[in-house]
A and B are shown apart, each in its own frame.
Chain A
Amino acid sequence: MKFAMESLSLVGRKNFLRIIHRKLRGKLYTLTDVEKIFRILADNIRSVSLPPISRAELFLADGCNLNCTYCFEGLKPRRLMPLELAQTAVERLVKEWSRDEKVVGIALFGGEPLLNWPVLKRVVEYAKENAQRSGKQVSFFVTTNGTLLNSERVRFLKDHQVYVMLSMDGLPEVHDRHRRTVKNRPSFSLVWRGFQLLREHYETFDVRMTVMPDTAPLLFESVMFLSEHGVSNIVIVPAFGVEWRLDDRKVYWQQIRRIAEHFRSAGRQDSASVRISPLQDLEKTEELVKRIGGGSEQNDFGCYSGCYAGANGVAVTSSGEIFPCSAFVGSKELRESYRLGTVQEGLNNFRRQELYVLNRYGGLKCQQCSLRSFCQGTCMVANHYATGYLVEPDPMTCQKTAFYVSIAKRRVHEACMASGLTHLGSGEGEKNEDWVDSDLLGS
């Protein structure tokens, strides 16, 4: 469908202006100049070819039965996605958006998606039939708070190979601090019941821990708690949209370091069986340090800018509106600029192209960053919340990279010293660590 207004969005203009301003630093330029550049830019953007969309997040329910303090979606009325709309979205994804892709992914999302259980069930079955008819495969993912799980539901999810991510923050007192019910009651005991059911039926599922500044000091204990209760996949995520003061950030990284050291200790029985997201990144950074050494060279891994929201994945709200990803839905400013259309009327590809170009351009600071080779990229929405710009990296991400590099370099250095080699990691790890603690943490 052709959209009448194919000019840059408000957020797009703000971000592109930021880039242009940097490029024209020291020069006098006018609004006319900026408009001229915007016009040419819009023409260029139209020529960008987009990849197929092969993943969709469906907001089966807008509302939630919990009211977590850090949730980027806020408290919403319990609007449920009608079955017909969900089926249309699935059909669009399988037949139209994914083009020739042979595998499509559907994330059952919310709010709390299990509030719309009858539709969830039908969507899974419908998508399987639909994909089969088109000669494609479909995979399912659900993110749930676990409070509405029962044996029958867990069996259904398991039988249909729906991979589960359970939101649980660790120790009961940590979990209950921010994960409250709508009536402001603690939710741990409710989640624990769902957790036990998942453990019974699933060989493996993920637990996502959201860390707040005030729960960061108990992060290590929380990870140990989950690990002792048999959780094999733990994803640790610092909450975004909240203020992380310098001291909070230090505590967070100290805790991550403690976890890393614990699981790295020789002879640790549980290290092989638990997969914790930051530690995997750390190992990968170590591999990179070994391979490319000091890391001051520029290289283009193609993903330093990170995600491709809107390019090959979209989120569909319960009313059928399409956004680049679920995180965009939580911000009014981003929602207004990056509404990509509706399931009924189709996609606004110009908006997708605009966002793709911005994302591809990456962080402004990233262009000259000496750690760029080690960076895993940033989340545009996290950038927006932290800095006000999609193209200015979230400081937490920069700290993460510096932290991984400093530890990785130290490890490589130690390994080299132990094996008599000195050409790698010549003590820079220590130097970098100072940098993490002073300059970067202070930024």
Chain B
Amino acid sequence: MFAEGRRQWIKKLLGGVFGIIGLATLGSTIGDEEAHAIAHSLVPNSTELSGGPCNFTCTPTYCPSCHGTYCPNCHPCYQATYIPNASSMGGAVKG
């Protein structure tokens, strides 16, 4: 009686463990529609990702996001304020 109970318990445990592993590796709990919705939400307005104007001091001489005085990546802000002379240019960031 006791041995049978233990056998059942082990069977349940193993079934549970393999069930979870099996589900985790093979199964699917999310429908196609939901998967699409999640994937789309990660790429909002995917064709319009052009970046907006920055509200901060992203000038040619200072980029607050990377702390540099020349950020090659703050393009929208950089372009808006760019004046190509030595006094308005910055140097790249390192450190």
Contact = CB atoms under 8 A, between A and B. Distances in A.
Partners in one complex: yes
Interface of A: 16, 19-20, 23-24, 27-33, 36-37, 40-41, 44-45, 47-49, 51, 54-57, 68, 70-73, 103, 105, 107-109, 137, 139-144, 158, 161-167, 202-206, 208, 210, 233, 235, 237, 239, 275, 277, 280-281, 284, 288, 300-303, 306-315, 324-327, 356-357, 360-361, 376-379, 382
A237 B84 contact: no
B13 interface: no
Contacts, number: 260
Contacts of A40: 35-36, 39-40
Contacts of A309: 72-73
Interface string B58-95: 10111111111111111111110010111101111111
A202 B90 CA distance: 13
A334 B9 CA distance: 47
B90 A141 contact: yes
Contacts of B64: 277, 281, 376-377
Contact of B49 (A68, A203, A360, A378): A360
Interface residues of B, number: 63
B24 A37 contact: no
Contacts of A379: 65-67
Contacts of A206: 61, 69, 90-91
B85 A37 contact: no
Interface of B: 23-30, 32, 35-36, 38-44, 46-58, 60-79, 82, 84-87, 89-95
**Which of A103, A107, A301 neighbours the largest number of chain B CB atoms within 10 Å of its CB?**
A107
A16 B82 CA distance: 35
A149 to B, nearest CB: 13
Contacts of B27: 30, 32
